[in-house]
Structure 1
Amino acid sequence: MAQAPGPDEDLMTLDELTTRVGTTVRTLRFWTSKGLVPPPIRHGRSGYYTADHVARLELVQELQAHGFTLAAIEGHLAQLPPDATPEDIALHRTLLAPWMPESPVEMTRAELERRASRPLDDDDLGTLVALGIVHPGPDGLAGGQLRVAVSQLGVGLGLLELGFPREAALAAGEVYAAHGRAIAEELYALFRDRVWPRYRGDADAADRLREVVERLKPLSVASLVNAYESAMEEKRREAVDRRAATR
């Protein structure tokens, strides 16, 4: 739901809104019908739009530009608090963009097999889906188009060659998703409470914050990898010690 406008907040007409965000009236009405953008605020028989509509539209455009499907965009927007302000949404969008995964490449199953240099049966495709490397199109795996994270395809094919079981891929995906959400929530709170106030009010606040996140991303990824490797090594040593103690 759109935030009620404040007494000094500028209201925009439909044409003014579409011009500002660079979309068409038809697209805006379609997104509104799908619940991605709240309906206009009614003053009599006329509808008007606020900064809340602008922020949500720009977030939808950002997600769409990175290859998110309509269903994925709906799911992402559903995670926003119902009382999120335009500033909250703008901050979310600023923090989100540098962490976006690569845009998937659309290809047919035959094209995927040519790229893999091997035939792929349904079990193979199921494992690649479980690993998050292949995403079925609207018609499922049997349909025409698949969306493929090509930079990760080599890793997935290597795991297939090693006989990596699909049930393990599914379980690992659940672990990654659960812990990824927890890390994202804590980092988002950190930026919102400790970093954003430093830049809020600056004319280029969003651009500066985006650059901070861009520069921090390699360090964050390296820190997560190091923490994972250290924890796995610790678990390996614990397992060795337990086996030694039972001999």
Structure 2
Amino acid sequence: MSARGSAPLQRIEELAETSGATVRNIRVYQERGLLQPPIRQGRTALYGPDHRSRLDLILRLLNRGYTFATIEELLIAERHGFTLAELLEVESVRGERRPSGSRRRLTRAESQAVASFDMPEELIDVGESLGLITEPGAADHFFSDVYMADLLRDLIVLGVDEEGIEKIGRLFMEGQSRAAEAFTVLVETVRGAGMDQAVFEKRVRSILPRAGAAARLIFLSAAETLLTERHGFSRG
């Protein structure tokens, strides 16, 4: 870890005093992997500017109401190439969606305006099977939200043609649909507990955010491995 300029290293007590954190909490952040290990000089543990910057970030996120688990997810995803600003924006939008469960949907016409070509029928069929289209056969709401449209736009800018869009879309959606089958194991396990149906449904749905976060991190790790091992990319 590099020290920035001539900024002095600090003992944990000094870091706590200057940051407004407590020594105990700093140690907790380290134990949870949120804060980097200290610099060792003999038997003395010291902290530099990078530690202070990370600690300030952790404290800001905690003040915004983020849990340790969410902060850990953000920091891991940051290492996969996302900026924290992008991730916080996504988390903010996700938080706004939770109360109503509604999503900003794009019509098929809006999606095609982005693409400048008709959506491949096979891609529409897959989207319909996943419930991304509100009424079977209508194809009124193909994309579930603006993030999918943004991805489509980026792919087109990079030069992916209609056939490539269809392949990418099918792989993405079929893969996620297959992964969602894992909930069958959960449902079959919990259903046998004999709890009230409303409680049962609430318990199962409570796992969705965590499962979504895990799926995203698994995808990022798998994509990074594929790019480096199959296509010769440098490790990000």
Indicate the TM-score class for this superposition, using the shorter chain for normalisation: 0.3 to 0.5
The structure whose residues are more often strand, as a share, is 1
Scaled by the length of structure 2, what TM-score is found?
A: 0.39
Scaled by the length of structure 1, what TM-score is found?
A: 0.38
